[in-house]
Structure 1
C-alpha cells in the first residue's frame, strides 16, 4: 500500500510541481497515474525464477505490478543482454523499448598490495589462504551448495584453506543455520557479517579466488569486483554471469556441489591457470565503467523524451 501511495499519489504531484520532462526510476517501479514519460531500470526478473528467495509481500507486489510498470514505461533499461531477453520472453517487450545499460563497480576495487593481503589473512583466517563469497546470505545465493562444495574440497585436498562468507545474514536462512551447526569444517568457515565497502575491498583483494554460486543474477557485481581486484572469479554458468565474466572466469553448475568443488580444486592446483585468469580478468573488467553506464542510460532517457534541437 505504501509503495502505491508513493508512486501513484506522491510522485505525480512532485513531477507536476517541478515540471519534469522524464521520470527515471532506478528501482524499476513506475507511477501508473502520471502523464510524465517514464524510463525504468529493471535489473532482473529474479522473482519469477526464484520466488522462494523473496518475501511474500514483495513477491506479490512485483507479480501484480511489474508487468503494468513495463507496459506503462516509454523506455526500459536493463543491466545485461540476459535480462533484456528475459523481459522480452516474459512480457513481450519490443526491441525498440529496451536498452542494455551495464553496471560497473567503484575504482576502489583494485589489487591489494602483498603486505596488505597478509594483514587481511592474519586478521580473518589465521594467515591461511581462502576462498571468498561476497553478498547477502539468502537462498538465491546458493550458500548451501557452496558449503557442500567446500566440504568436498577439504576432503580431497586436506588443506588448511578457509571459506570466508562476507555479507549480512538476510532471510530464510533456517537451513543454512542448521547446516552450520553440524558442519564438519565449521572452524574453517568465517562469517564476517555485513562489512562496509573499504573492508570488502580488502577481503576480496586478499582472497585466492571468489566463488559466487548464485542461482540467478541480472548482472553479478561481485564477479566484476573480483576481476578488478586481480582475483579469479569462479561462478555459475547460468543467467548473466558468463556474459559479465566472459573468458576471464571459471564456470560451474550451481545445482551440483561437485561441479563447484571441481573448479575450486582446479584453481587450487593450477597456478599458471590462475595467473591467466587474473590477466584476462583485468581486460574483461576494463570493458565496464560508470562513464559507459552513464552514457547508455542517458541514451535511454533521450529516447524517453527526445530533447528539442
Structure 2
C-alpha cells in the first residue's frame, strides 16, 4: 500500500498544535511500519524536521497560497505519485480528488456559534476559519474516514455534521518522550538565560485566539497578585507586547505589566525545559478539542490547572485542578492553593505523571495505521464488487 500524508506546514519554523500532531504521527509511523510506502507532501521551508528513509519519501512543492496548494496542486501531485490513500491531517482536504481520503478533523470550533469561543482579531486566523467553513462540510461527506482526537470532539462533530457514526474514529494524541523531568542543570540554566525567565514563574501558553482565555487568565492573575504577599511572575508564551498592552488597557489593569514576562515564540525543542523551570502551568481555555500541553506539562512534573469544559476533563482526568474558566476568582484561588500547599502540589504531580503515561505516539501511530489498512481493504472490496 502506498500512503500519502499531507503535512503542508511541517517545515515552517514556527509550528503550532496540529503541526506537531502530524509530525509526531509521521515519526511514529516511521518507527512501526517498514512494509508500506509513504509520501509526505510538504510546502518547502527552513525547518527540515523529517528525514527520508527507505519507505518514506518527501515530496515538497510550492503554491502561491494554501487553498491553491491544497485544492489544486495536492490532488494532482498525489495522483502522479499513485498513492492509494491520501491522509489530510489538519481539518481540510481537497474537495475534488480521485484518491480515497482520510481526514483528521481536530475540531469544528469554526462551525460553532461565534459567542461560544469568540473570534480572533488575527486576520490570518479569521481567513482560516472562513476557508474551513467553506470546505469542511463537503469534504467530510466525501472522505472515506474521519479521525478526531477526543470523545468530546466526536460528539461535537456529530452534532454539527450529518455523518454516520461509523465514519468517525477517535484516536488520542500522544506525549513525546522529550517531555520529561530534566536532571541536567546546565540545560535548564541555558534555557532560563536564553528566554530571560524569572527564578519562579507561572506558565501560560497564550496567543490572540480568544478561546485561550487570555483575559480570564489576566483577571485571575490580578486577583492573585492583589492577595499575595510574594508575587510570582506570569510568563506568557507566543504573545506580543503590543497586544498584551491593549488587553491590559481594556481590562483597566496596566499596572499588571510589571509582573508579566513575554519570551515570544518558544520552539518545541525548548518547551520541555521551560515546563521544568515553571512552578505551575495554566490551561484554562474556553474550548479545546484535546489539550496536549496539559499532558506535556504533567510529563515534565509540573502541576496543572485546566478548565472543567470541553475535552479537558477527558484528557486531564483527576490529575489537574479543573476550574470554570469564566470564574476569575475561583481560578485565582486555585493558583494560590497550588502554589502554597505542598501536599496538594505533590499529589497532583504524582497523578500527572501517571496520566501522561497513558498517552503515547506509538499507540497513536498503531491506531492510524490500522485505519489506513481498513480503508484500503474496503476500497479493494468495493472495486471487486
Between 73-82 and 162-171, report the one with greater CA deviation.
162-171
Matches of 1:183 and 1:98 in 2, distance apart? 47
**Matched residue, 2:164:** 94
Deviation at 1:295, TM superposition (A): 1.0
Matches of 2:231 and 2:249 in 1, distance apart? 24
Decide whether the 8 Å contact of 1:180 with 1:186 is kept in 2.
Answer: no
Unaligned runs of 5+ in 2: 1-63
The alignment's TM-score, normalised by the length of structure 1, stands at 0.90
Secondary structure of 1:248 counterpart: coil
- Relative contact order (C-alpha < 8 Å, sep 6+): which is higher? 1
Deviations 1:171-208 (A, max 9, x none): 97674263599532322111111112233222111111
CA RMSD of aligned residues (A): 2.7
The 1:148/1:135 distance shift into structure 2, 3 A limit, reads closer
User: Of 339, 344, 354, which aligns to 1:283?
Assistant: 354
**Matched residue, 1:196:** 267
Matches of 2:244 and 2:160 in 1, distance apart? 29
**Matched residue, 1:80:** 150
Matches of 1:34 and 1:140 in 2, distance apart? 33
**Matched residue, 2:49:** none
Secondary structure of 1:192 counterpart: strand
Deviation at 1:116, TM superposition (A): 5.6
Q: Is 1:12 matched with 2:82?
A: no
Between 54-63 and 290-299, report the one with greater CA deviation.
54-63
Deviation at 1:126, TM superposition (A): 4.4
The 1:44/1:277 distance shift into structure 2, 3 A limit, reads same
Deviation at 1:121, TM superposition (A): 6.2
The 1:23/1:172 distance shift into structure 2, 3 A limit, reads farther
The alignment's TM-score, normalised by the length of structure 2, stands at 0.73
**Matched residue, 1:262:** 333
Secondary structure of 2:202 counterpart: strand
**Matched residue, 2:109:** 46
User: Of 92, 104, 114, which aligns to 1:29?
Assistant: 92
Deviation at 1:302, TM superposition (A): 2.3
Decide whether the 8 Å contact of 1:104 with 1:289 is kept in 2.
Answer: yes
After TM superposition, the structure 1 = structure 2 runs for residues 1-309 of structure 1, keeping only pairs within 5 Å, are: 2-47=65-110, 48=112, 49-50=116-117, 52-53=119-120, 55-113=125-183, 115=185, 119=189, 124-127=196-199, 129-169=200-240, 175-176=246-247, 178=249, 182-306=253-377
Matches of 2:241 and 2:161 in 1, distance apart? 29
Between 239-248 and 46-55, report the one with greater CA deviation.
46-55
Matches of 1:116 and 1:267 in 2, distance apart? 27
Decide whether the 8 Å contact of 1:37 with 1:73 is kept in 2.
Answer: yes
